[in-house]
Amino acid sequence: MHWLDTIGGDIAMDFRANPATLANAIPRAIEENGSTMIADTTAITARRERAAEVGTVFDAVVVGAGFAGMYMLHRLRGLGFSARVFEAGSGVGGTWYWNRYPGARCDVESMQYSFSFSEKLDQEWNWSEKYAPQPEILSYANHVADRFDLRRHIVFDTRVIAATFDEAAKGWLIQTDRGDKVAAKFCIMAVGCLSAPNRPNFRGLDDFRGPIYHTGEWPHQGVDFTGLRVGVVGTGSSAIQSIPIIAQQASALTVFQRTATWSVPAWNEKLTPEYLQAAKADYPALRAKARARPTGFYFPFNTKPALEANPDDREQQYEEAWARGGLPFLGAYGDLLFEKAANDTIADFARRKIRGIVKDPVTADLLCPDNVFGCKRLCVDTGYFETYNLPHVKLVDISRTPIERFTADGIEVDGVEYRLDAVVCATGFAAMTGSFDKITITGRAGLTLSEKWRAGPRAYLGIASAGFPNLFMITGPGSPSVLASMIQAIEQHVDWLADCMGHMRDIGAASIEPLAEDEDAWVEHVNEVSKVSLRSTCSSWYVGSNMPGRPRVFMPYIGGFPIYVQKCNEVMTGGFSGFVLEGAPVGNAAPEVRYTERWRVPLDIDVISPAAVAARRVPVV
Ligand code: N01
């Protein structure tokens, strides 16, 4: 296939009809490997002209100053690129800036939920708890911003509202809600996977006299629920973390549950100086072990199948895993997310735990999920189920009879009004694609990304999308993202992108864009691999079905972090195979690898995991 066939629109048509157009328009047109390539010099001239029009031109604009945007800025500056980050919030931290609800904390251990690119940073920072609370993670983000002097290139309180591809300049025109218009060669979306709050349009919302909060947009000054009758809608991770704390303040707490949730105790604890010292002494080894794991973070993993264990041993194994707590509970056996019969054994164990904690049998029954254990994102709690033993806490089942409406004084379900002073919507997010939809991103031939993704997101490696040259996504759909430890997933993408952009500069490439056929094959692969896992079998935000009207597509890549990284490395070594590099005199040449080297880790294939299972059953394309 000729590369022109991979792009749509007038320009491709024009070039095909009249090749002279191309030669006239481009001072340095080079024929190589059957491809016509456009030198970056023309694009640079066009970008300079655009700079005169719009005011400022950068090598790269980054959207968002969460962990992804911060690290991207650091790498861009390290390469000598000019860059600007636009951030809607007043500070850095992204998800940890916005999600300030009571009890918010990370459920990946803090020693691993942090940047790994700087050994000095690893050694300097001291986490106080096994699972860091939101204020501490935000302090860490601020520390990183100060330590690496990031703020001077971040524009806060400014939301990007549009990004438009400029064909002549091979770059992007970016507009903000404050009237800025800037041009850049690269536009990098560091917009977060869970950053567009889902606010269900319940009937009568405006009638309610009290305040309505969303966990993902929590007031900075905090909320005091003392003495109030509070309603919480939703029982996902945010609800499970906040409910026990809200219950300590509220005079009455009513939880509206549509789907019961699996949750495992965190057994959070303070980290002692001795623990920190020992962990830091071996930090590089811990980081390396984490990179080799399907989830991008390390925890003990029993590779044996649950179904081969005798029932007594299995019970013992689950007890020990429950006593360790947290997400590693799913590592009790290797087949739990692949064999329904195996999953039934852990689900049965967890249901017995819930019934053992919750005293009222009717409430306990309602709290026992009937879906696959760990199908939706597993929750990790501190005292969640115990909270329902408190006399002022009530659970309302809305699985069969949804919330009818909000009234002036509360919420009505099945003809019953629950009187409330305040409501907390812990209703989650338009996951993976919602943050992209908030920006009008217009690529070649006027096609917007939202239009292209109407039937589900399409991105090569979750990094870039055909028709949108020089537009990159950090942890976009089709990459491990939310199924890996987010900061490791972010770092791997940023390092890859930094090497990619450095290479483009080295060889004078004007633009990079996935080939449609490689993108299609990757999207198909992401879809095929998801079918290997039981996680594809239930409704969840992984498949977009937490909100009405969204297409049902399994969005993150479930083949495991190391296998994905291996694929990215191969693409890079192959001179960005699957991508078209316009203007590169040497075509798809192998790049100089500056940052990606640390991600070349051997596969821990013994760990039976999505990675291993998928690798055996579904060859990576
Ligand atoms: O959101 P969710 P979340 N009427 O989508 C319910 C990460 N996170 O903010 O299950 C009534 O999980 C919905 O019901 P159902 C983590 O990855 C991480 O809690 O769709 N109910 C569900 O119960 C997590 O998975 C941490 O039937 C409605 C709830 O609202 C992700 O963020 C902490 C409804 C939403 O649960 C999202 O978690 C917190 C409606 N119309 C979050 N619409 C860490 O510790 C939705 N619901 C790292």
Residue whose CA lies nearest to ligand 1 atom number 40:
200
How many whole angstroms from 236 Cα to the centroid of ligand 1? 4
Any ligand 1 atom below 6 A from CB of 59: no
Q: What is the pLDDT of residues 448-459, one digit of tens each?
A: 999 999 999 999
**CA pseudo-torsion sign 276, 281, 287, 293:** negative
Residue whose CA lies nearest to ligand 1 atom number 25:
377
Q: Which atom of ligand 1 is nearest to the CA of 379?
A: 25
How many whole angstroms from 235 Cα to the centroid of ligand 1? 6
Q: Which atom of ligand 1 is nearest to the CA of 200?
A: 41
Q: Which atom of ligand 1 is nearest to the CA of 545?
A: 20
- 64 with 92: CB under 8 angstroms? no
> What's the pLDDT score for residue 30?
26
Phi-psi group of 374: left, alpha or beta (phi > 0 → left; psi -120 to 50 → alpha; rest → beta): left
> What's the pLDDT score for residue 21?
27
Q: Compare 621 and 273 and report the one with higher pLDDT.
A: 273
How many whole angstroms from 133 Cα to the centroid of ligand 1? 18
Average pLDDT estimate for 583-604: 84
Q: What is the pLDDT of residues 524-541, one digit of tens each?
A: 999 999 988 899 999 999
> What's the pLDDT score for residue 612?
59
How many whole angstroms from 426 Cα to the centroid of ligand 1? 6
Average pLDDT estimate for 591-616: 73
Phi, psi of 114 (to 5 degrees): -165, 165
pLDDT band at 22 (very low <50, low <70, confident <90, very high): very low
> What's the pLDDT score for residue 85?
98
Average pLDDT estimate for 258-276: 98
Q: What is the pLDDT of residues 500-515, one digit of tens each?
A: 999 999 999 999 999 9
Q: Which atom of ligand 1 is nearest to the CA of 107?
A: 45
> What's the pLDDT score for residue 195?
95
> What's the pLDDT score for residue 54?
64
Any ligand 1 atom below 6 A from CB of 200: yes
**CA pseudo-torsion sign 96, 100, 105, 110:** positive
pLDDT band at 366 (very low <50, low <70, confident <90, very high): very high
Residue whose CA lies nearest to ligand 1 atom number 9:
428
pLDDT band at 32 (very low <50, low <70, confident <90, very high): very low
Residue whose CA lies nearest to ligand 1 atom number 46:
427
pLDDT of 284 strictly over 90: yes
- Among residues 325, 333, 340, which one has the least CA distance to residue 308? 333
Q: How many CB atoms lie within 10 A of CB 227?
A: 10
pTM equals: 0.91
Q: What is the pLDDT of residues 567-587, one digit of tens each?
A: 999 999 999 999 999 988 777
pLDDT of 427 strictly over 80: yes
CA 127 to CA 143: how far, in whole Å? 13
> What's the pLDDT score for residue 37?
34
CA 122 to CA 96: how far, in whole Å? 19
CA 463 to CA 499: how far, in whole Å? 13
Any ligand 1 atom below 6 A from CB of 434: no
> What's the pLDDT score for residue 218?
98
Average pLDDT estimate for 461-472: 98
Any ligand 1 atom below 6 A from CB of 258: yes
Q: What is the DSSP letter of 111?
A: T
- Percent helix, strand, coil in the chain, to 5, is 40, 20, 40
Average pLDDT, the chain: 90
Q: How many CB atoms lie within 10 A of CB 283?
A: 14
pLDDT of 315 strictly over 70: yes
> What's the pLDDT score for residue 55?
63
Q: Which atom of ligand 1 is nearest to the CA of 240?
A: 19
Average pLDDT estimate for 221-234: 98
- Give the lowest-confidence range in 207-211, 230-234, 592-596, 600-604: 600-604
The percent of residues above 90 in pLDDT, for the chain, comes to: 81
> What's the pLDDT score for residue 16?
27
pLDDT band at 617 (very low <50, low <70, confident <90, very high): low
- Among residues 139, 142, 124, which one has the least CA distance to residue 70? 142
CA 41 to CA 502: how far, in whole Å? 16
pLDDT of 472 strictly over 60: yes
Q: What is the DSSP letter of 86?
A: E
Phi, psi of 533 (to 5 degrees): -95, 145
How many whole angstroms from 379 Cα to the centroid of ligand 1? 10
Say if strands 422-425 and 212-214 run parallel, antiparallel, or are unpaired.
parallel
Mutate to test the pocket of ligand 1, among 233, 375, 427, 488 (most ligand atoms within 8 A of CB): 427
Average pLDDT estimate for 534-562: 91
Any ligand 1 atom below 6 A from CB of 192: no
> What's the pLDDT score for residue 53?
63
Average pLDDT estimate for 577-600: 88
pLDDT band at 45 (very low <50, low <70, confident <90, very high): confident
Q: Per this entry, what is the length of the chain?
A: 621
- Among residues 45, 27, 37, which one has the least CA distance to residue 3? 37
Q: What is the pLDDT of residues 51-74, one digit of tens each?
A: 666 668 999 999 999 999 999 999
Q: Compare 34 and 395 and report the one with higher pLDDT.
A: 395
Q: Which atom of ligand 1 is nearest to the CA of 428?
A: 1
Mutate to test the pocket of ligand 1, among 108, 237, 263, 268 (most ligand atoms within 8 A of CB): 237
pLDDT of 443 strictly over 70: yes
Q: Which atom of ligand 1 is nearest to the CA of 541?
A: 5
Question: Under DSSP, is residue 423 helix (H, G, I), strand (E, B) or coil?
Answer: strand
Say if strands 229-233 and 212-214 run parallel, antiparallel, or are unpaired.
unpaired
pLDDT band at 3 (very low <50, low <70, confident <90, very high): very low
> What's the pLDDT score for residue 50?
66
Tokens of 281: 């002494």
Average pLDDT estimate for 389-404: 98
Residue whose CA lies nearest to ligand 1 atom number 41:
200
Any ligand 1 atom below 6 A from CB of 456: no
How many whole angstroms from 103 Cα to the centroid of ligand 1? 15
Q: Which atom of ligand 1 is nearest to the CA of 259?
A: 27
Residue whose CA lies nearest to ligand 1 atom number 1:
428
pLDDT of 254 strictly over 70: yes
- 212 with 204: CB under 8 angstroms? no
How many whole angstroms from 421 Cα to the centroid of ligand 1? 22
How many whole angstroms from 361 Cα to the centroid of ligand 1? 25
- 410 with 571: CB under 8 angstroms? no
> What's the pLDDT score for residue 42?
73
Average pLDDT estimate for 135-154: 98
